[in-house]
Structure 1
Amino acid sequence: MAMFPALMNDTMFSDLFDDPFFEGWRQTDNGGAMSAAMANGMMCTDVKETKDGYDVDIDMPGFKKEDINLELSNGYLTVSARRDGSHEDKGEDGKWLRRERYAGSCSRSFYVGEDMKESDIHASYKNGTLCLQVPKMDAKPQVEAKHQIAIEG
């Protein structure tokens, strides 16, 4: 997938992302291919595991805090942002010859667990980087089903 480093089609560090936190991390908003926003350097994400959780830093240059939305639903934390651009052919001082700045929306989703609450996640935005602190959830012990063995005789 596009979000993980690869060399000669051999994905490196693939077992590093086996933690349930990274479930769905490889998915992008258009079915796996790198989105135009990510190709432009937006929403590039670093995830660091700490003793108590995960620090997630997401590059979102040019967005205002008000343009960014965080939503927690069904165990998925979705980060989305929208930036509107004028689509007029003329500016106040003349005609646009070239427009390269991104206008539109982009989003990323991270699986954080069904038991995560909005109040558990802390977010800040400074200098074009959205910083999230996501706690580790205590692993629920799996109860092994008991199997009865019939006694003959």
Structure 2
Amino acid sequence: MLFRRPFDLFDEMFSDPFFTAPFETAGRSSLMKTDIQEKDGSYVIDMELPGYSKEDIQAELKDGYLTISANHTENKDEKDNQGKYLRRERFQGTCKRTFYVGEDIRQEDIKAAFQNGVLRLAVPKQAPQVPEKEQPKLIEIQ
């Protein structure tokens, strides 16, 4: 018989799909898959949010960080003819992603659209700031 450490059972518990795939319930798996591409002087972020509506999603810009969060509550009640429940399912989920976009980006510079479960954000590329070369200043010698 193999001797097991007392915490092996505890460690194994967290490899259970309940903990490793929290969004697989209610048909939701791999939320917020994100593709980022460089296009026409900006970065285009496509984020998949299946099952969410436009009203469930918030995009916030603070201190150079763009945070996208989505909160969704779903309640499916099915009853038979006598009003008894055959099935009751509820889902409530929140997900959030944060990207650093730079402190020079302003909220009004970012364009966002949500269509067919995909949130598309266009974030302008920051113009590289080239420090101006300081002209040598001659010291007058007397």
Normalising by structure 1, we get a TM-score of 0.61
CA distance in 2, matches of 1:35, 1:56: 24
Q: 1:43-73, CA deviations, whole angstroms, 9 ceiling, x for partnerless residues?
A: 0000011230111100001111011000000
Identity %: 39
- Displaced runs of 4 or more, over 6 A: none
**Which aligned pairs between 1:18-37 and structure 2 lie closer than 5 A?**
36-37=22-23
Q: 1:21-62, CA deviations, whole angstroms, 9 ceiling, x for partnerless residues?
A: xxxxxxxxxxxxx87349812100000112301111000011
**Which aligned pairs between 1:53-132 and structure 2 lie closer than 5 A?**
53-86=42-75, 91-93=77-79, 94-96=85-87, 99=89, 102-132=91-121
Distance apart, 1:95 and its partner CA: 3.7
Rg comparison, structure with higher value: 2
RMSD: 2.8
Which has the larger share of strand? Answer: 2
Normalising by structure 2, we get a TM-score of 0.65
CA distance in 1, matches of 2:32, 2:87: 27
Which position in structure 1 is the counterpart of 2:126?
Answer: 137
C-alpha contact 1:120 1:135 (8 A) present in aligned 2: yes
Which position in structure 2 is the counterpart of 1:16?
Answer: none
Q: Which has the higher contact order (CA 8 A, sep 6+)?
A: 1
Q: Which amino acid is 1:53 matched to?
A: S
